[in-house]
Structure 1
C-alpha cells in the first residue's frame, strides 16, 4: 500500500501547481516529494512588493497528522532577518508550525496543508511588519512610529537587493557590475557529455529560475518606480536603523544604496533582453540540425496557421526568417471594443529549452493597456497543463488583451501608469480609454 503521506503531499503539490495564483509556486525533485521548495512573491503595497522569497519545506512521515518543517532560505546567507517572524537563521515563527505559541485553535490540524502554510507566511508580509513583533502590535509612541517607517524602509531596500537583484544576477551569472561570469553546468549543458556516473543530484535544483526571470520582466517598471520613490526618503550610504527587537545575530543591518540598485536592475533587464535575443541564433542552429524541438515547433506553427484559416480567425501568424523559435503574430482588434480597428504585432520568443523555459512575448506595436508593460511585455497566464502548446500562449495573450471585466488583481501590475488609471475613478477610467484608443488609432497610422 502506498504511503498515505506521499499521496497527500503529491495531491497538494498538484493542486497548487494547477491554480492561477500568481504569488505562490512549489516544486520538488521527482524522486523526493518530501523535500519541497516554495516561492512566495511579496504582496503589493508592502515593503515586500514583488520580491521573490524562497522556503524549504520538509515533510515528515506523519504528515498530515504533524506539520512539516519550514525554513526560509532567502536570508542573504543567514545575515538578513526579513520579518519579526522570519529569522536570519531561516526559522519561521507560526503557531501552526509549532514554532510560536498561539491562541487556542490556532495550532496545526490535519485539515490544513501546504497552501494554508504559505498563505499564513505571506500574511506576515504586511504593509507594517513592525507590528508583527509581540508587544509592538499597538505601538503608538512617537519613537515607534519612526521605527515603523524605518523598518519598512530597510525591508523594501533589502527586498530589492537580496530577493530580486541578487537572485536574478545569480540566475544570469552576472557580477554586481553587470559583467557575465562563467556559467555552472546544467543538465542542458551536459547533453553531449559523458553522463555515466552522474545523476540529477549533482545539478543545482533551481525550479523557479524561469518564473523569476519572466516575473522580473513583468515588474521591471514597478521596481524602478520603487527605487525612484525611495530615493526621496533616504540617502545613499545612510545606515539602516536597528529595531528594538533585533539582536546582533538576528537583524537586518546595512546601508541604503538605491543608485547602485537602480543600475543593477537596469543591467538585469539588458541581460534578459540579450538572453531572449540569443534564443533566435540557438534556435536556427537546432533547426539546421533537425533537432526534435525545432521539428515540433515547425509542426505546431503549421497547425496554428491551418487552425486560424479553418476558424476564420482574422489574426495572422508568421515565422521570422523562417525560424520556428520566433513567431510574429498580427492581432486584429476585436470589433465593438476599445481595440476595434487596431492592428498590433507581437513576437513570441521560444527558448531552445522550451517548455522548461517558457516563451517570452513582446508587443512591437505600442499599446497603452493595463496588462502590457511599457516595453511591450504582456502579463498573461497560460494553462499549466498546456504549457508546451504555443497556441495556448497566443490565445492567453489575446484573452488578457481583450478581457472586458477583469477582477482587480495587483499581481498583474505590469504597467503602473495604465493600472492606476484603469482601477482609478470614473474620470481616470475615461482617460485610460482615451489613451488606449489613441494607441489603437496610431497602430493603423504606423503601418
Structure 2
C-alpha cells in the first residue's frame, strides 16, 4: 500500500509539472515525496489576481484512499485569513478534504488527487469571496452589499502586500525602503506551524523563488494597476472593516496604504533589474574559474550559432563582452506577418545557478505586443524537461511572438493595454495591429 501511494503521488507530481498551466506549480524534496509544496497564482479579475499563495500537502500511507492534509502557508504569520474557507491558522475548509461538511457526493474519493484539490482551492479565490461563507450566499441587505465591497478591497490590498511584496522582499533581502538588509528575514507567511509540515524545518525549502521573481516581472504592470484602482476606491489610513464571520483570532485586520505599496513594488522591480545585471558580473568571474555552468553555456552558444547557420535563418546570436552569461539575439520579423521588416535586439541573461534559476529575457528594442511587457519582458513557457536547453527558451520566445491564433488566456497578461486591444472589438484589433506595425517600423528606424 505504501509503495502504491508513493507511486501515485510521484505520477501526479510529474503530470502537473509537465502541464503548461501557468497558475499552478508543485514540487517536493527529492527524499520526501509525501511532503509537497504547491503554489497557486490568484485568478485574473479577482481580488487575488496574480498573488502567490503557497500550500503544504502531507500525504499519508493511505493515499489515495484518504485525502492528504493541506495547510495554507501564506497567512502573514497566522495573522491573515485570506478567505472565509482559508483560515489564518492555515486550515483549508473543503468538503473533499473532510474539513467541511458538504453535500452528498462532494466528499473525497480515490478518483480525486493533487490537481483537483488545487483547482478546488483556486475556485475559492473568486471575484466575490464573501459569498464563500455559508449563510451569506444570498446576502442582499445593504449592509451585506457594503461588506462584500469592503472585503474585496482588503483582500486586494493584502494580496499585494503579503503574497507579493513581502515574499519578493524576502527573496531579494530588501526592506520596505528598498535597501538591502544585512540578512534575509524569515518570511512571515512561513510561520504557520512549519515543524508539523517539514521534517527538516531547519533547512529553508524555497522552491518557488525563481518562479515568483519571473512572474513578478510578468505581472508588474497589473500590480501597479491594482494599486491605482485601490487608491481611487479608498483613502490611505482607512482601517479594514471586520466581516461578520471573522473572529478575533481568525481575521484580516489592518489599514490601507496603497501609496506605500506602490513604492515597494517599484523598489522590488529595481532590485530585480539590478540582480539580473549582477549576473553578468558573476558570470565573468565564473568564466574565469571555468565553472561547469560557464563551460556549458559556452558550448550551447556555439551549438546555437551553428544551428542558425544550418537553417540559414536570418536570426543570429552573439555574446556580450565575450561573456557566456549574456547573449544578444537579433531577431528578424517573420515575413508576411505584422512583424515583417522588424529587427529586434533581445538580451538573454543567465544566472551562475542556471538552470535552477531560469534566464531573464528582455526585448531591448521596443515592441507593442500582447505577449511583451512594457519593459520588454516576454511572456512564454518552456517544458520542464528542457530547462537546461537554452535553445528551447529562444524557440519559446519566438513562438510566443509569432503565434497567429493564440488562445485567450488572462494568465498571459503582461501588457494590459496591448492585451485589451488584441482581445477587444474588431476596431480594437485594428488599433492593436496599427500600433504593432508602427513599433516594427520604428525598430528599423532606431538602428
Which TM-score band applies after superposition, normalised by the shorter structure?
over 0.9
Give the secondary structure class of the aligned counterpart of 2:107.
coil
State the match for 1:21 in structure 2.
Answer: 21
- What is the CA distance between 1:201 and its match in structure 2? 6.5
State the match for 1:56 in structure 2.
Answer: 56
Q: Deviations over 1:80-138 (max 9, x none)?
A: 00000000011000000000000100000000000000000000000000000000001
Give the secondary structure class of the aligned counterpart of 1:3.
helix
2: CA distance between counterparts of 1:271 and 1:369? 25
- How many residue pairs end up in the alignment? 434
1: CA distance between counterparts of 2:239 and 2:245? 17
State the match for 1:182 in structure 2.
Answer: 182
The two structures, once aligned, show a CA RMSD in angstroms of: 1.3
2: CA distance between counterparts of 1:307 and 1:200? 45
- What is the CA distance between 1:205 and its match in structure 2? 0.4
- What is the CA distance between 1:312 and its match in structure 2? 1.0
Alignment of structure 1 residues 284-433 onto 2, 5 Å: 284-433=284-433
- What is the CA distance between 1:203 and its match in structure 2? 2.9
Give the secondary structure class of the aligned counterpart of 1:232.
helix
Give the secondary structure class of the aligned counterpart of 2:44.
coil
The answer (yes or no) to whether the contact 2:301–2:324 under 8 Å persists in 1 is yes
The answer (yes or no) to whether the contact 2:57–2:69 under 8 Å persists in 1 is yes
Give the secondary structure class of the aligned counterpart of 1:391.
helix
State the match for 1:122 in structure 2.
Answer: 122
Q: Deviations over 1:390-428 (max 9, x none)?
A: 110000000000000000000000001001000100100
State the match for 1:149 in structure 2.
Answer: 149
State the match for 2:103 in structure 1.
Answer: 103
2: CA distance between counterparts of 1:390 and 1:397? 11
- What is the CA distance between 1:168 and its match in structure 2? 0.3
The answer (yes or no) to whether the contact 2:2–2:61 under 8 Å persists in 1 is no
Q: Deviations over 1:291-345 (max 9, x none)?
A: 1111110010000000100011110100000100000000000011100000011
1: CA distance between counterparts of 2:335 and 2:400? 16
2: CA distance between counterparts of 1:317 and 1:311? 14
Alignment of structure 1 residues 223-262 onto 2, 5 Å: 223-262=223-262
- What is the CA distance between 1:182 and its match in structure 2? 2.8
- What is the CA distance between 1:260 and its match in structure 2? 0.4
State the match for 2:442 in structure 1.
Answer: 442
- What is the CA distance between 1:139 and its match in structure 2? 0.6
202-211 or 78-87: which moved more?
A: 202-211
State the match for 2:196 in structure 1.
Answer: none
State the match for 2:271 in structure 1.
Answer: 271
Matched, 1:3 2:11: no
2: CA distance between counterparts of 1:98 and 1:354? 41
Q: Sort the Cα spacing of 1:242 and 1:2 in 2 relative to 1 into closer, same or farther, 3 A.
A: closer
Mark the runs of 5 or more structure 1 residues left unpaired by the alignment.
186-198
- What is the CA distance between 1:179 and its match in structure 2? 1.0
Q: What is the TM-score with the length of structure 1 in the denominator?
A: 0.96
Q: Deviations over 1:251-292 (max 9, x none)?
A: 100000000000000000000000000000000001011111
Matched, 1:136 2:136: yes
- What is the CA distance between 1:183 and its match in structure 2? 3.9
Q: What is the TM-score with the length of structure 2 in the denominator?
A: 0.96
2: CA distance between counterparts of 1:102 and 1:330? 57
